[in-house]
Amino acid sequence: MILTIDVGNTSTAFGLFEGDNCVLRFRRTTNVNSSSDETGVFLRSVLRENGFDWQKIEKIGCCSVVPSVNHSLANACAKYLGHEPLFIQAGIKTGLKLRYSNPKEIGADLIAAAMGAVAVYPGKNLIIIDMGTATTAELVSKDKEFLGGIIMPGLKISVDALAGGTANLTSVEIMKPEHVYGSSTTEAIQAGLYYGTAGSIKEFCHLFKKNVFHGEDAVIIGTGGFARTFEDYNLFDKIIPGLVLAGVKKALELN
């Protein structure tokens, strides 16, 4: 079995693979103060409660955008699961041509998502929209070239910014509103966030196809915690929740 880990700013996702099949996905809040023992006991407990033997894990891979947790996480894996994780970072084999001014600046999660997407759609131009703490879009050509992308505030950041930067607005639940406008302050914020985000993604994808892929078709993939919120809006050709975890598995195979 292979364990893959995706450390995000808000939460950390785990995927357990048997062969090519992800047989278990689970998640916990990212906590920079968690000790290696706390993390190790958590991992063993979740695996045991779901009927899996941690001793059958052969490899562990990780991508992390929170460097402060990496040391503790690596120690937890080594002590409680018997393997040190491979971290996606500059210098590892990715199978991608990184057309970036400074490849070391590319987030590990972006590289993993690109690797996972290329494995699912080989030979296709790809637009990968990751809707997590930040909303990112990355572009990968049909020749496996990582071209770059965009980064903008995610839905949660936007809600917190409105609540924290204004006197009369409060935090609201992130959800698809009933109408395109709101008849209350809460509904107005929800409509603004939902349709504003959807509109910006649609416009970016239009511009990417026109100006980057020069009119060629591109597969638009949605991933991240908020991607399902837009499932009915038809923003994406495919939603793949565990895309980064699949990319981490691909990295283990290449390295």
Backbone angles phi, psi at 15, to 5 degrees: -135, 130
Asked if residue 191 lies in contact with residue 143, where contact means CB atoms within 8 angstroms, the answer is: no
* Tokens read off for 91: 């210098």
Q: How many helices (H) and strands (E) does the chain have?
A: 6, 11
Give catalytic residues, as residue numbers. Answer: 109
Asked if residue 138 lies in contact with residue 162, where contact means CB atoms within 8 angstroms, the answer is: no
For residue 196, give Cα distances in angstroms to 80, 106, 202, 230.
45, 26, 10, 12
Sign, CA torsion 211/98/116/67: negative
Sign, CA torsion 35/38/41/46: negative
Tell me the HSE value of 199 on the side-chain side, using a 13 A CA sphere.
Answer: 7
* Tokens read off for 213: 């892929």
